[in-house]
């Protein structure tokens, strides 16, 4: 079980945060976790199961938000206990940090909230690993200050995640120069492959995406030397209740990871 960032660094491979965008139910979460655990064990990839217990940042009022906080958090804990893997979930407000920390190993700060001091400090005080997503509106260099807030609150277990930068109203781009720049801060840097391919602010009120470029973006990130990868995956993205437009179909994950491991080995 991974408890600290040092545990992640024991492997020469990149590590992986992967799972569904949001917990839709227990059976679904366990099936996805079982598949990914088998793949990552075979390839020697340290793995953290990802699932949001609630989606707070939605475009429309009728968008799916979750099955209930406690119910979803208990499912995340069951995934951890069943497969002996750590789990990560998003938190959205300072008073959620302690609640979520009872069930998960990594607290993730959403990109839009990466400057919220009270949220970062509350996450830090739980003693859990804190993964801060870079705001779509921030330069890589500005993320030093978000990380410093967690460290100065007494927690050195910090990771930073690149997830694209706003490019116009309905697109994102990844500036791969930001990965080595953020690594100079002394924290592992993750590339969020699937969210980097979102197309936000669609007139329908439902975020679009370009999943056909998942492999391209992931390969480039590994070649640049990213420490970890983040990918949302689902058995059938077409029926996913959140972010289906940019998720990776679960059946495609193993082939992609095989290619990425080869790139990692070649680069090292």
Query: Mind listing the domains of the chain with CATH numbers?
Result: 5-267 (3.20.20.70)
- Going residue by residue through the chain (268 aa), what tens digit of pLDDT does each one get? 777 888 888 888 999 999 999 999 999 999 999 999 999 999 999 999 999 999 877 566 657 777 999 999 999 999 999 999 999 999 999 999 999 999 999 999 999 999 999 999 999 999 999 999 999 999 999 999 999 999 999 999 999 999 999 998 889 999 999 999 999 999 999 999 999 997 877 667 667 778 899 999 999 999 999 999 999 999 998 888 877 788 999 999 999 999 999 999 999 8
- Which long-range contacts (C-beta less than 8 Å, at least 24 apart) are formed by 109-115? 109/133, 109/146, 110/56, 110/57, 111/135, 111/136, 111/163, 111/195, 112/57, 112/136, 114/138, 114/143, 114/146, 115/146
What is the SS3 assignment for 56? coil
């Amino acid at each position: 079980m991974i408890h600290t960032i040092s545990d992640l660094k024991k492997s020469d491979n990149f590590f992986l945060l992967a799972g569904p965008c949001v917990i839709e139910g227990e059976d679904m979460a366990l099936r996805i976790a079982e598949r990914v655990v088998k793949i990552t064990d075979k390839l020697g990839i340290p793995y953290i199961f990802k699932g949001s217990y609630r989606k707070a940042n939605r475009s429309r009022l009728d968008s799916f938000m979750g099955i209930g906080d406690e119910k979803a958090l208990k499912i995340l804990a069951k995934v951890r206990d069943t497969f002996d893997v750590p789990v990560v979930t998003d938190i959205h407000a300072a008073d959620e940090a302690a609640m979520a920390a009872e069930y998960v190993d990594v607290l993730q700060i959403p990109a839009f909230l990466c400057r919220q001091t009270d949220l970062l400090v509350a996450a830090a005080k739980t003693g859990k690993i804190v993964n801060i997503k870079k705001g779509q509106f921030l330069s890589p260099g500005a993320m030093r200050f978000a990380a410093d807030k967690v460290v100065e609150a007494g927690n050195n277990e910090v990771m930073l995640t690149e997830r694209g930068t706003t490019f116009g109203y309905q697109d994102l781009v990844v500036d791969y120069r930001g990965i080595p720049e953020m690594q100079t801060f002394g924290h592992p840097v993750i590339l969020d492959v699937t969210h980097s391919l979102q197309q936000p602010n669609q007139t329908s009120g439902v975020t679009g995406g370009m999943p056909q470029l998942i492999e391209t973006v992931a390969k480039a990130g590994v070649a640049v030397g990213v420490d970890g990868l983040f990918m949302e995956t689902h058995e059938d993205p077409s029926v996913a209740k959140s972010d289906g437009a940019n998720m990776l179909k679960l059946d495609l994950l193993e082939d992609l990871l095989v290619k990425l491991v080869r790139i990692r080995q070649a680069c090292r």
